[in-house]
Amino acid sequence: MEWWQEFFEGDWIDLHPAYWTAVESAEQTDLIESCLGTRSKILDVPCGEGRIARRLAERGYQVTGVDQSSALLDLARRAAAAAGLSIGWEQRDMRDLPWNEEFDGVVCWWGSFGYFDDAGNQEFLEAVARVLRPGGRYLLEGHTVETVLPVFQPRSWQRVGKQLVLEEREWDHTTGHIRATWTFLTEGRTTSKEMSIRLYTYAQVVNMLTSAGFMKVRAIDPETSLDFRLGARRLVFVADT
């Protein structure tokens, strides 16, 4: 199995909903909304437990969420139902998007790009381009080489809810991957999971987006909403069809 087919289960299910505060999620949704403009029919892929999809739906957007994890989608469905929100949820590989020119906007939020090999990552971008209507917009948030390597740390600890989480990382310069082992300490119980993210340069991502069919690509710093500059810790690519 690929790492992403089993990573988002078990202890991750407890960690995921507690990872962001309500204020942080609202601020991220503010940025998404400002970038989307008047676009109203939105695809969130991968949507995880649906925190962004739910907040967009609360603001009046027509939202569909796609994720491969049945466990995360179960959380998403229950939370949306409890809030009285109408959101379409689909379990599928994010490269497998069956729509054609269906959405005004697509959102890929919080480091969910680079899960596959180069061909698979390109396939995902091409799938996104196909589901967007002419004039549609894609928001791709996450990391590039320029955001990660200047501040790279081989390990870090954080407390998320009731869990203490250790992330140990290594940079493989021969393949362009960040490989990480996540260790979860929960009430005396310890478990570990491994992941591997393909990390591209800014120029490489722009080239992949234009190859997928996007006509205009720029990037902003999500902390300032200004154009991306070296020194930003994350970035959001804004790509138009």
Which CATH number, 3.10.20.30, 2.60.40.1120, 3.40.50.150, 3.40.50.720, labels domain 3-143+200-240? 3.40.50.150
Q: How far is CA 51 from CA 37, 68, 70, 226, in A?
A: 20, 16, 15, 24
pLDDT in tens, the chain (241 residues): 899 999 998 888 888 778 899 999 999 999 999 999 888 999 999 999 999 999 999 999 999 999 999 999 999 999 999 999 999 999 999 999 999 999 999 999 999 999 999 999 999 999 999 999 999 999 999 999 999 999 999 999 999 888 999 999 999 999 999 999 999 998 889 999 999 999 999 999 999 999 999 999 999 999 999 999 999 999 999 999 9
Q: What is the pTM of this model?
A: 0.96
Phi (first) and psi of residue 82, to 5 degrees: -65, -30
How do the domains of the chain map onto residue ranges?
A: 3-143+200-240, 148-196
Among candidate residues 69, 70, 64, 75, the one with its CA nearest the CA of residue 98: 64
Contact 140, 237 (CB under 8 A): yes
